[in-house]
Amino acid sequence: MDFQSYKQQQTSAFDERAFKSERLHYLWLKCNNDRLIGNFSAVNFTLDTIWDELSGMSKKMGKYEDHKKLISNSDDYVGKTSIIKNKDIYQATIYKALRQKYQELKFIQEDLGLGGKIIPQDEFSMDE
């Protein structure tokens, strides 16, 4: 058997979805850590990276336009905060804008089936 035939018979033992979930987990952790220390610029870049991870799957599932509209609204809100001169008002406003973007990306992740699984109460048991 030549290499090409062998290669065609093989299937990946790895699921890209598992790797994507791991990358997203790391990015959410980074985002939360940066948010806790007030590094809002890093938070925004990390949220953009999360969107990059989600957008390909969003396209494949036919939900890209709806999801992009959600993110565009958040990006517009984040962009408008740059004209605020008062530092305290800016910090509060950018935090609120990034929080909205964060929540919308979490919604998109759930909508794509990449979030946590909710187990009905009657199926959940600590005895097993």
> Domain locations in the chain?
18-114
Q: 48 CB contacts (<8 Å, ≥6 apart)?
A: none
Q: Please check the confidence at residue 119 and state whether its pLDDT lies above 70.
A: no
pLDDT tens-digit series, residues 66-110: 899 888 888 888 888 778 888 888 888 999 999 999 999 999 999
**Burial class, 102, CB count within 10 angstroms (exposed 0-12 / middle 13-18 / buried 19+):** buried
Nearest to 111, CA basis, from 69, 48, 75: 69
**Burial class, 58, CB count within 10 angstroms (exposed 0-12 / middle 13-18 / buried 19+):** buried
Q: If you average pLDDT over residues 44-63, what whole number do you get? A: 93
E-only strand ranges, the chain: none
